[in-house]
Amino acid sequence: MRHVIRAFLAAAFVLLLVLGTVVFQLKETRTVNGKVTVEEDKVQQSVQTKDELNLYAQSAVLMDASTGRVLYGKNEDIIRPMASTTKIMTCIIALEYGNLSDEVIASQNAASQPKVHLGVYKGEKFLLKDLLYSLMLESHNDAAMMIAEHVGGSMEGFAQMMNQKARDLGCSNTYFITPNGLDAKEEKDGQVKEHSTTAADLARIMNYCIGQSPKKEEFLEITGTQNYSFQDLDRKRNFSCINHNALLNSMNGAFSGKTGFTGGAGYSYVGALKDDGRVFTIALLGCGWPPHKTYKWSDARKLFQYGLDRYRYKDVFQETRFDDIYVKNGVPTSGRLEDPVMISCGISDSEEKSLKMLLADDEKITVEAEIPKELKAPVTKGQTVGSVVYRLNGEVLKSYPVCLKEGADRLTPLWYAKTIIKDYLSMPGVKSIFPFY
């Protein structure tokens, strides 16, 4: 009987152990396209944000191009490789620091770049302008390297220019190594850094290219062109380029953009659309891998349509009334010490009394006047003493300075002496004693 009980207990223990292991594995695995992936779900949950649009992209953002405000985001601040969307930065740097008529000679390094490439030979010469169309329409990797070596002196020198521009634009989560966006890593300052950005940073760079750069018109001309043909400078070969930004022909208002793909980055896209005064930019990173090449177009349309349907410009400026401010130890204009010194204030007349913001119907602006109740003399007319702050979800959208409409001197012993003398001289009969006063 003892042997039977022992055997039963042993079997029960083994069964519990097996069940515990199975439950643990179920928690740590999930099924993706019929395949079990261990711990991937845990990683995804650590970065996943709410995504009501059910986008394919691992990271995505819709941005108001005029202000840089994020209108919709999914993991928009997660750092990821960005493939050939890199080339919008390559293009704008070349436009700002190079000349379209520059002659560019292909190095062996440029000629050895992998597909997609123009297929240049070492020593072959091209106009910088033609290479920029090759770069942005067909995404040629050798064209990118030729541009970088010409403008920056070397790939490394050009990368420094790209990274400096990113810092200037406030893109603190972006790091460039190559001009073409091929997957790359390097050791820098004791750290291994990856060629990467975030969806939010990529959209900010696009905002600069289409709206703030002194070369924005040239950028828009190139990225909005459907077809372009050119020759090498020795007229030995002919080349044709077709723009691979499918939205230019398939979505009203789309006017600029760049696609990208590498094995590490997956499919990516950055683009811009305008409608009725509104300009939206989007960025998609990790938007599927082969054979899902069309996922990026589905996501792009969803994001742009979300912006078109939801956001409208509204003038949120409000006329604000201010109480007069008491000025301590100020000289009263009446000359009577018993009168308090109260100074009026308001928003400067030089400020435009209009504030148009791209807002959804359910978004509310808060307006708060930050004005002191008391000031110490002396104060001057036009002096800034406070502000009127417009906020959305706690974020400051605009701050108007509030200035004094008049000034006030400080009470001093000399002022008291002058006032006493003046009062004395104004007494009946005193003026006849001092006729010269």
* Residues with catalytic roles: 84, 87, 139
57, 28, 19, 22: which is closest to 267 by C-alpha? 57
Alpha carbon distance 101, 123 (integer Å): 18
Half-sphere exposure of 389 (CA within 13 A, CB side): 12
Percentages of the chain per state (helix, strand, coil), in multiples of 5? 35, 30, 35
Give the chain's length: 437
**Can you list the alpha helix ranges (DSSP code H) found in 293-357?**
295-310
The DSSP bridge pattern shows strands 395-404 and 384-392 to be antiparallel
Classify strands 266-275 and 254-262 as parallel, antiparallel or unpaired: antiparallel
On whether the CB atoms of residues 181 and 260 are closer than 8 A, the answer is yes
CA distances to 70, 220, 274 from 212, rounded to whole Å, are 18, 12, 15
| C-alpha span between 270 and 350 (Å, rounded) | 38
Q: Tokens standing for 67?
A: 């202000």
CA atoms of 69 and 173, how far apart (whole Å):
17
Token representation of residue 47:
């970065």
How many angstroms separate the CA atoms of 144 and 91, rounded?
A: 9
Q: For tokens 């064209």, name the residue.
A: 143
Q: Is 68 exposed, middle or buried (0-12, 13-18, 19+ CB in 10 A)?
A: middle
What is the DSSP secondary structure assignment for residue 116, as one 8-state letter?
Answer: S
> Which is it for strands 325-328 and 374-376: parallel, antiparallel or unpaired?
parallel
Three-class SS state of 301: helix
3-state per-residue secondary structure call for 275-293: ECCEEEEEEEECCCCCCCC
